[in-house]
Amino acid sequence: MNTELFKQMLQEKGLELSDRQMEQFKIYFETLVEWNEKMNLTAITEESEVYLKHFYDSITAGFYVDSLKSPIHICDVGAGAGFPSIPLKIAFPQLKVTIVDSLNKRIQFLEHLAKSLELKEVQFIHDRAETFGQNKEYRESFDMVTARAVARLSVLSELCMPLVKVGGSFVAMKAASAQEEVEAGKKAIALLGGKLAESHSFTLPIEESERNILVIAKEKQTPKKYPRKPGTPNKEPIE
């Protein structure tokens, strides 16, 4: 996917990118490749693949989740090199974004990136998702929490649902096998105060691989004991 096709395919979905937004994606790509030589941010560094598998793929959430077009506050858990929240922020500048990541080096990259892109209303927090979810300042304060293929859904729900305010949503971006994950994660989702509201399945253009966007509505408060201590959700998922 070259830059022209990237712009054209977003246009077909009703998303018009300005010259400035296209420039921001170009700076993002160049910064990602430059920093990737010093630290491991991504295995994908070919320009056409970054535009398809990182940028376009991240923005697909905006095709299905209308609230991303509003000025909501989203939290991205384990965003790594900034996916999906930074491409979403470029595409929908009105979003307010908080990224939490457990690796300080990645946070340094994101801070540098945000300056290079001149992004406003973004913050980056170095923390484990488990301890961040117990922080009174942030717990149940976000309109939406996003995560892209970080862990299986039962684990991911425990890391993300405690951060979503009641009435908000958790949007999980998954590759294949999402339906099995939903089945296996039903108990965890309900226990944490959520309910699967929408499930969207589509294929990523060009490479034709399966993608799924799961929208989990937060209907009631998450019990105080969740998330449990760092490492526990992964070792002992709610089943």
Which residues does the annotation place in the binding site for S-adenosyl-L-methionine? 78, 83, 129-130, 148
Q: How far apart are CA 120 and CA 128, in angstroms?
A: 24
- 193 three-class SS: coil
Listed in sequence order, the residues at least 6 apart from 239 whose beta carbon sits closer than 8 Å to its beta carbon are 154, 184, 187, 188
Summarize the annotated binding site as residue ranges.
Answer: 78, 83, 129-130, 148
Kind plus residue range of the DSSP H or E element containing 209 = strand 209-218
Q: Could you give the maximum distance between any two Cα atoms of the chain, in Å?
A: 49
Whether residue 162 has a cis bond before it, omega within 30° of 0:
no
- Using a 10 angstrom Cβ sphere, with 0-12 exposed, 13-18 middle and 19 or more buried, the burial of residue 185 is buried
45: number of Cβ within 10 Å = 13
Q: How far apart are CA 43 and CA 38, in angstroms?
A: 13
Residues 183, 190 contacting (CB under 8 angstroms): no
Q: How far apart are CA 147 and CA 174, in angstroms?
A: 9
Q: In angstroms, what CA-CA distances link 126 with 105, 107, 227?
A: 9, 6, 17
Question: What is the β-pairing status of strands 73-77 and 96-101?
Answer: parallel
